[in-house]
Amino acid sequence: MKIRYFDNAATTKIKKEVLDKMFPYLTEEYGNPSSLYTLGRKARVAVEEARRKVAELINCDKNEIYFTGGGTESDNTVLKGIMTLEKNKGKHMITTKIEHPAILNTCKTLEKIGTKVTYLSVNEEGMISLEELKNSITDETVLISIMFANNEIGTIQPIKEIGEIAHKRGIRFHTDAVQACGNVAIDVKNMHIDMLSLSGHKIGAPKGIGALYVNKNIEFKNLIDGGHQEKNKRAGTENVAGMVGLGEACKIAKNTLEEHTEKLKMLRDYFFSEIKRRLGDVKINGSMKQRLPGNSNVSFKDVNGSELLMKLDEKGICASAGSACSSGSSMPSHVLTAIGLTSEYAEGTLRVTFGDENTKEDVDYLVDALVEIVASTQNG
């Protein structure tokens, strides 16, 4: 059966151009970038070339990019690295209630060792309030970490305004941009971003590779101890092929941003209009204006989400209930709870996230399937 993949917020297929670029570094070019002979030096050149491509996607200096093992590690590095280094200056940080578990669970760990964390609420669209942010800042605040775009409902936060507020008060600003990278134009200088997390497998590169941008004027402590790699900030022999793949994916993202986002928006808006036309009682979650181009998140009244997913799977359709990380549980996700979705709708929530390979015909197939399944399961 043909697979129709609508779960690009969970992970993406590796792009062919990315795999082609990586292949030599998994085969003939296997040198250690720290080695001084030619084979090693060629790997070093490839790593530095990849670093430059990542930097160009977000408009920072190449030396401000550190490769990591993924988005989760980048988030952990920032939060733990800043809060432990700055503990004499202040123990308070501000984040939101709708962050990815990579942030929320790191905050829980930090709370156990004395960090005070403020979790900002969001409105029904998933948007924070800049007033609440300003009012939460104290003399002890050393870090603000707010996600660029939400992985479940796609809401994009007012990042530049947040950065301005942070910098007026001399506070460092980190953003988890794992979902936004490659889908929204990002300029860390213009947006006052000090630190940013991104991940390979959400933008057509492999799993297990990511990057962290840290402004050159900001001190942070490494998470992983060991060798001198990544300027002593991330020990361990480099994942050369992964880095090369991430670099290539960033280069493609930069060169195709406009057509990519236009295509995804077209598919998403077509999906929204078709389900509204053909299925009456459906709720669209998240903001209609400040939203990731490929994200849709809809709730059907009195429908069981996991049953819905299973029946979609039988038709070759891959989609997600709340978030991939909390699937298997029938509790509404922390994001749906934070936007105040009532339980009769929250249960029947479906996240459909589009990618470059999807077509309009795929959307028709999906909507046909939804019409059939929702009719047969609702109140059933």
| Residues with active-site annotation | 325
Asked whether position 199 contacts ligand PLP by CB under 6 A, the answer is: yes
Q: Does 122 bind ligand PLP (CB under 6 A)?
A: no
Q: How far is the CB of 147 from ligand PLP (least distance, A)?
A: 6
- Select from 24-32, 64-72, 155-163, 305-313 the region that touches ligand PLP (CB under 6 A): 64-72
From 173-181, 220-228, 235-243, 245-253, give the range in contact with ligand PLP by CB under 6 A.
Answer: 173-181
Among 8, 12, 72, 285, binds ligand PLP (CB under 6 A): 72
Q: Which of 202, 233, 263, 351 is in the footprint of ligand PLP by CB under 6 A?
A: 202
Shorter beta-carbon distance to ligand PLP: residue 68 or 370:
68
Helix axes 38-58, 240-278, angle to 10 degrees: 30
Checking DSSP bridges between strand 172-176 and strand 317-318, what pairing results, if any? unpaired
Of 23-31, 70-78, 134-142, 160-168: span binding ligand PLP (CB under 6 A): 70-78
**Rule CB under 6 A: which of 203-262 touch ligand PLP?**
210
Place of tokens 């997390």: 197
Structure tokens at 95: 């984040």
What CA–CA distances, in Å, run from 72 to 41, 97, 186, 242, 250?
29, 17, 20, 16, 18
Q: Choose, by CB under 6 A, the member of 8, 76, 95, 179 that binds ligand PLP.
A: 179
* Residue of minimal Cβ distance to ligand PLP: 71
| 86 sits near ligand PLP (criterion: CB under 6 A) | no
How many residues touch ligand PLP under the rule CB under 6 A: the total is 14
Which neighbouring-strand residues pair with 195? Answer: 174, 214
What residue has token string 């971003």? 193
Q: Is 102 in the site for ligand PLP (CB under 6 A)?
A: yes
For position 294 contacting ligand PLP by CB under 6 A, the verdict is no
Q: Closest separation between CB of residue 251 and ligand PLP, Å? A: 19
Q: Quote the CA–CA distance of 167 and 137 in Å, as a whole number.
A: 12
Piece of the chain touching ligand PLP by CB under 6 A; list 68-76, 119-127, 273-281, 314-322: 68-76
Question: Which residues, numbered 134-163, are part of the site for ligand PLP (CB under 6 A)?
Answer: 147, 151
Give the footprint of ligand PLP on this chain (CB under 6 A).
70-72, 100, 102, 147, 151, 176, 178-179, 199, 201-202, 210
